[in-house]
Structure 1
Amino acid sequence: MEWFDDQPLRPRPHIAVLFYDALGDFVIITPLLRGLKEKYPDCTLDYFSGERTRELEEALPYIDARFSVFGNPNALTELPAFLAERRAVAGEYDLAINCDFHPTMAFVAHMLQPRYVVGKCFAADLREEVPRAPGKRHQLHDEFWSAPDLLQRYGDILNSTYIGEIWCRLAFVETDFYRTEVPTEDPACDIPEVLISTGGRRPAKLWSRDYWKQVIDWCFGHGYRVGLLGDKPQRQSAVYHTGDTESWLLEQTPLIDLRGRFSLPQAAGALARAKACVSVDNGIMHIAYSVRTPTIALFGASPWMVWTPPVPHLHLVLPDEPCSKCYENRFRNAACLLPRHQCMLSVRPARVIERLQAVLRS
């Protein structure tokens, strides 16, 4: 195994991409998956991720085979047989691109035994990682991608600080970095004009329920129905930290409860039918802009400059009173680090409504 520095691959290369199974992670890596198929038209592409994004992985045409590492209790015992099957189909792995920082994925990359590797991969002795090739491009692996001067220092390599572009550059892939893709299915029901999503895996990202109510009231007052997307209610509350916010909104407003009704491709299909989506930084937001629905994204406690592509139908609403605490902590904190949730409280509903009104009128 050695570091990939754009060495030529064999005519029908066997390629693996590894990434965590968060919805946003899947969405931002789709340009890389497509770009690999464009660069190596006859390649076989295997994807290693997890159960959360399984439905999307199985429906995406660029993926030839997939395996759940996360959410699969038997992953490491089942993996050798899966790899043997894949090698029988497509030969040894020529290239593994590990886009994840979890040590489990570094071990999985090692088990693939690829000829070349990008990203974390344990070396033969399992003590160290495969050493990186020299060169400025490869130094990006050590950078904090949210650093405000990143583009200034790497402008000869990057056009933006969008993570989807960064991973393509690290893998020497040229494509439309900002065109993400999500497979869609018919949701098989009527879809409200506006869809919202309130939950997230970091409570620091969340918006005030009173603010949400003002947006919902404005929509219904102007003839726009609003639907609530998310996981099943109990999981939405426990895993996505919504607490009693969503149940309170359903009691206080005519909000239509669509949580837990759709598969992920159907949720994408529902978003594609909506006139607009309003969401905090979460997987629904990423799916919404991927299906080209006008998306109003409420950002405060997460690095928008890394996680949002520069596309015209994605409208960011940023804090009037930003705080540097999450940045200083490299966004590792789950909850807000201040007594008052300053950044998200300064994303005021009047600004969101103004942006939403403009989107709906257009």
Structure 2
Amino acid sequence: MKILVLRFSSIGDIVLTTPVVRAIKQQVPGAEVHFATKPGYRSLLEANPYVDKAHYLNSSLRELVQELRVEQFDFIVDLHNNLRTSLIKLQLGVKSAAFDKLNWQKWLLVNLKINTLPQVHIVDRYLAAAAPLGVHNDGQGLDYFIPAEAEVSLTTLPAAFQQGYVAFAIGAQHATKRLPVERIIELCALLRQPVVLLGGPEDAANGQLVEAHFSNRDAEKSQSRILNACGQYSLNQSASLVRQAQFVISHDTGLMHIAAAFQKEIYSVWGNTVPAFGMYPYRTKYHILEVPGLECRPCSKIGYEKCPRGHFKCMRDIQFEPFFPAAPAAAAPASQNRVG
């Protein structure tokens, strides 16, 4: 069978599709697996041995459809399920299945604070869309493949970081999913190990503020224990730094799921979104840092550029000390220490 998987964004969502791709390739005899996404996510697919061919949506949906029609697919697994993917399926006219986005249930939770969402991770909902192919969850978790040329040698880091560090992914697409800079500084101050700050170019300014704070504080030392790597590395290189970290702190963002693919211990920080949406770290040890019982949370299933109520309690009131009371690898409270 020739099978097409559709998922156009984003980094974390595409990483979360990897169990489906692997299951199809390994469990459907002779399967040829194609994946369609946006060109900005090319690096997520190029090294994946379970993807036989990738297709990219550039400026024209029509051109992509023409390219896909030539392939004569037998089945489409739609893991995006939006208007664009619906148009692709309609025009290709082959058998397909789509994952359930649970939009109505999410609306109830966001707007009425009524939680009717099933306690099912989004990976398992993705796998349900591929069930007509006879595939099942192999229990192997997420995949992330780093090309050899993108591996970062620890010898290229400052000496203080070569014996171990914490990776802190400080970015997120929306501001209400990110800790304010002063809270990032507060959290870093509780950690004993050196800390590598990870993120894109858009996070570099905040990373510089955090790095400068500790550089000034540690001026008498030869080297700061905070390294601002935001915008300095490619996604695959950042993944390499995540893979080699002692543990990972991350907002609800793509690097969190990349960390889960490497089965790192994750301290997962949640603001306006909630783990109940089904996108918490998958099949790895993790700890949830959040403000439980906050009546305005979740205020969105995605995020905002600023807190709709102005107080931003969901991030400003998170208690860090129970997770990092003395040593950075200290166990979280039993109710928060989970394996997804």
Range into which the TM-score falls when normalised by the shorter chain: 0.7 to 0.9
Match of 2:270 in 1: 299
Match of 2:207 in 1: 246
* Distance (whole Å) between structure 1 residues aligned to residue 62 and residue 100 of structure 2: 34
Aligned positions of 1:181-330 closer than 5 A: 181-185=143-147, 186-190=151-155, 192=161, 193-219=165-191, 222=192, 224-232=193-201, 235-236=202-203, 244-253=205-214, 254=224, 255-305=226-276, 306-309=278-281, 311-327=283-299, 329-330=300-301
Deviation at 1:184, TM superposition (A): 2.2
Structure 1: which 5+ runs fail to align?
Answer: 1-12, 120-137, 152-159, 238-243
Q: Percent identity, please.
A: 19
Distance 1:309 1:357, change over 3 A: closer
Cα deviation digits, residues 141-173 of structure 1 (max 9, x gap):
66526673333xxxxxxxx42101011113213
SS at match of 2:330: helix
Distance 1:330 1:310, change over 3 A: closer
* Distance (whole Å) between structure 2 residues aligned to residue 198 and residue 339 of structure 1: 21
Matched residue type, 2:285: H
* Distance (whole Å) between structure 2 residues aligned to residue 203 and residue 45 of structure 1: 36
Matched residue type, 2:77: I
Deviation at 1:80, TM superposition (A): 4.8
Deviation at 1:78, TM superposition (A): 3.6
* Distance (whole Å) between structure 2 residues aligned to residue 189 and residue 320 of structure 1: 38
Answer yes or no: is the 8 Å Cα contact 2:4–2:73 preserved in 1. Answer: yes
Aligned positions of 1:1-362 closer than 5 A: 13-69=1-57, 72-73=58-59, 75-76=60-61, 78-80=63-65, 82-83=67-68, 87=71, 92-114=72-94, 116-119=95-98, 143-144=104-105, 148-151=115-118, 160-172=119-131, 173-176=135-138, 179-185=141-147, 186-190=151-155, 192=161, 193-219=165-191, 222=192, 224-232=193-201, 235-236=202-203, 244-253=205-214, 254=224, 255-305=226-276, 306-309=278-281, 311-327=283-299, 329-331=300-302, 333-354=304-325, 356-358=328-330
* Distance (whole Å) between structure 2 residues aligned to residue 228 and residue 268 of structure 1: 12
Answer yes or no: is the 8 Å Cα contact 1:178–1:310 preserved in 2. Answer: no
Distance 1:112 1:84, change over 3 A: closer
Give the structure-2-normalised TM-score: 0.79
Structure 2: which 5+ runs fail to align?
Answer: 215-223, 333-340
Matched residue type, 2:76: A
Cα deviation digits, residues 190-225 of structure 1 (max 9, x gap):
464111111111211111222211222233xx3x11
SS at match of 1:216: helix
Deviation at 1:34, TM superposition (A): 1.2
* Distance (whole Å) between structure 1 residues aligned to residue 249 and residue 281 of structure 2: 17
Matched residue type, 2:287: H
* Distance (whole Å) between structure 2 residues aligned to residue 208 and residue 170 of structure 1: 38
Deviation at 1:315, TM superposition (A): 1.9
Match of 2:337 in 1: none
Match of 1:3 in 2: none
Matched residue type, 1:283: G
Matched residue type, 1:195: A
Deviation at 1:325, TM superposition (A): 4.5
What value does the CA root-mean-square deviation take over the aligned residues?
2.7
SS at match of 2:146: coil
Give the structure-1-normalised TM-score: 0.75
* Distance (whole Å) between structure 2 residues aligned to residue 141 and residue 59 of structure 1: 31
* Distance (whole Å) between structure 2 residues aligned to residue 51 and residue 359 of structure 1: 40
Cα deviation digits, residues 59-101 of structure 1 (max 9, x gap):
11111111222xx22x43542553255x2xxxx2111111114
